[in-house]
Amino acid sequence: MSLKAIVSQKGQVTIPKAIRTRLGLAPGTVLEFEAESGALVARKTEKASDPVLAVTGIIERPVDVEAYLETSRGPVK
């Protein structure tokens, strides 16, 4: 399948719908680009992990912030 697209002034390209559908490219898909023998090659990669989401929920019990601060800093005067 060979389709054409034009590079915009900002260096952006719209991937033709037929190719997006065939390759399962949806919004948010991460692509990795390489130049191989004068050709541009794009490959799907794993979605970049969000460091905040990676640690969300790791604390097993609720923390009383006021009690923690009093324990670590001493009583508020």
pLDDT of residue 5: 93
- How far is CA 29 from each of CA 16, 19, 24, 54, rounded to the nearest angstrom? 15, 14, 9, 19
> pTM for the complete prediction?
0.54
Assign 48 a pLDDT band (cuts: 50, 70, 90). low
pLDDT of residue 28: 85
